[in-house]
Amino acid sequence: MTELTSLTLAEARDGLRKKSFSASELAAAHVQAIEQARALNAYVLETAEHAATMAKASDVRIAKGEAGPLEGIPLAVKDLFCTKDIRTTACSRILENFVPTYESTITSQLWRDGAVLLGKTNNDEFAMGSSNETSLFGPVVSPWRRTDSNTPLTPGGSSGGSAAAVAAQLCLGAIGTDTGGSIRQPAAFTATVGIKPTYGRCSRWGTVAFASSLDQAGPFGKTVRDAAILLRSMAGLDAKDTTCADMPVPDYEAAIGRSVKGLRVGIPKEYRLDGMPAEIETLWEQGKAWLKSAGAELVDISLPHTKYALPAYYIVAPAEASSNLARYDGVRYGLRVPERDITGMYEATRAAGFGAEVRRRVMIGTYVLSAGYYDAYYLRAQKLRTLIKRDFEQAFEAGIHAMLTPATPSAAFGLGEKGGADPVEMYLNDIFTVTVNMAGLPGIAVPAGMAAQGLPLALQLIGRPFDEQTLFSLGEVVEQAAGRFIPQNWWA
């Protein structure tokens, strides 16, 4: 059965079409793998019976010649996407018993195309975190370990469960969300491929909101091709989301293997940080060499407002979170802590229902939106956001097709090693990723090498708006040069 879980999504799709195995066998193999990997805490809800039913229906459609693009493919879904009649918590106590009566647009499109739900994956509470340590259900443990060490490591956040599940071969692909790096950073830490599409490429309807102008759903895959296959099913116009773009969805898989000769790839000088580990610098140089040998032209560029991206992000995102999380008041759904009056109930419910990091961000957001501080903080941050976006636009107008940067400032760190006394230490993990969200651009993290301690490292490619195809083509070059990295199984 383990040979079925070691397949890539593309290999499994082709095997199902050839009837080399059934969707039911494929689902059962992954259910067994999940049961043996509970030490990773990647899933917060396993849906084995549901998966068996969906797989059986897929087998019927395959037999009839009616298979969809993802027919019989077992997937994991971040516990931020509403799934009809299946508990959805955002990994927060305030939603610990919430069972939606509706399906998110993203997941409905996956089921439309024949995918099979294995379960809901762990994430930082309301997607607020970079290590998956703020979850109600406890942290995910990375399937990776440092050489000669048993120290439990973070798989990254907030989509840590999805990344760990793909890396540990507990699903053939997974869905996450990216608000400031929450797909790309976990992908980098776990040697998986993760893409944040252009803002508006995928519907946000039915996804628990963190920061509405930054949130974007995206896939995790074992390979660049797998991520491309998944994104095609996820993307597209949705009338229920007014920020969703009315643009045709290309065949992303067709971009795999396409020549990158003549593409101009920008190297932003602002991403070369003081104190950046030598192995990150070396990896970046290696990535440049791979792209150059494939025929791409490397161009040094400047994105001068990059240095303001992180502080501006940590004003805009908490402000939007403060607004979005106001709906969790104990009145309509979720946790309710009774008190003598309604104000007391609001206070008690939110105090009991939100964890420390969520409360911190709500307080920051409320502060920067308050009278007397709005102009000084929120308005200024939005102006900076416009300048950050303009930096990218000017580079693209000058003929740049994509940009190459590191994905993270380091390899994965140990659980509990960062952010304890100083939350800013944790926030700095997003330093290479937040600019992409602030500008609404697509970005992909591709495994590119190994750190000295035996942990994966990744490179990030940033693209023009709605030009994910170019990222898949360039990402494939990096993947072919670097090879794939799979952790040794210590958990089963």
Task: Report pLDDT for 424.
Answer: 78
3-state DSSP assignment of residue 111: helix
Q: What is the Cα–Cα distance from 470 to 467, expressed in whole angstroms?
A: 6
The 10 Å Cβ neighbour count of residue 270 is 16
Whether 270 contacts 305, CB under 8 Å: no
Q: What is the Cα–Cα distance from 157 to 357, expressed in whole angstroms?
A: 13
**Using CA of residue 95, residue 99, residue 102, residue 103, what is the dihedral sign?**
positive
State the pTM of this model: 0.97
Q: What percent of the chain has pLDDT over 90?
A: 94
Q: In what order do the strands lie in the sheet with 116-121?
A: 43-46, 116-121, 74-78, 173-178, 216-221, 193-196, 443-450, 456-463, 402-406, 264-268, 297-301
Q: What is the Cα–Cα distance from 58 to 71, expressed in whole angstroms?
A: 6
Strands 116-121 and 173-178: unpaired
Domains belonging to the chain, first-starting first, are 2-262+443-482 (3.90.1300.10)
Task: Classify burial at 411, counting beta carbons within 10 Å of its beta carbon; exposed 0-12, middle 13-18, buried 19 or more.
Answer: buried
Q: pLDDT (tens digit, 9 = 90+) per residue, 448-480?
A: 999 999 999 999 999 999 999 999 999 999 999
Q: What is the band of 423 on the pLDDT scale with cuts at 50, 70, 90?
A: confident
Checking if the pLDDT of 484 tops 90, the result is yes
Checking if the pLDDT of 421 tops 80, the result is no
Q: Kindly state the average pLDDT of the residues 25-40.
A: 98
SS (H, E, C) 245-312: CCCCCCCHHHHCCCCCCCCEEEEEHHHCCCCCCHHHHHHHHHHHHHHHHCCCEEEEECCHHHHHHHHH
Checking if the pLDDT of 274 tops 90, the result is no
H or E element that contains 403: strand 402-406
**Tokens 């380091």 belong to which residue?**
410
Q: Residue 417 gets which letter from DSSP?
A: S
Cis peptide before 158, with omega less than 30 degrees from 0?
yes
Q: Name every residue whose Cβ is closer than 8 Å to that of residue 161 and which is 6 or more positions away in sequence.
A: 41, 42, 43, 44, 76, 78, 79, 121, 122, 123, 132, 140, 155
Checking if the pLDDT of 251 tops 90, the result is yes
Q: Kindly state the average pLDDT of the residues 135-140.
A: 97
**Tokens 């610098």 belong to which residue?**
281
For residue 454, how many C-alpha atoms fall within 13 Å in the half-sphere facing its CB? Answer: 13
Catalytic residues: 78, 158, 182
Q: pLDDT (tens digit, 9 = 90+) per residue, 324-350?
A: 999 998 898 889 999 999 999 999 999
Q: Which residues pair with 301 in a beta bridge?
A: 268
Q: pLDDT (tens digit, 9 = 90+) per residue, 166-179?
A: 999 999 999 999 99
9-17 vs 23-35: helix crossing angle, rounded to 10: 150
Task: Report pLDDT for 1.
Answer: 55
Helices (H), 18-47: 23-35
Task: Report pLDDT for 429.
Answer: 84
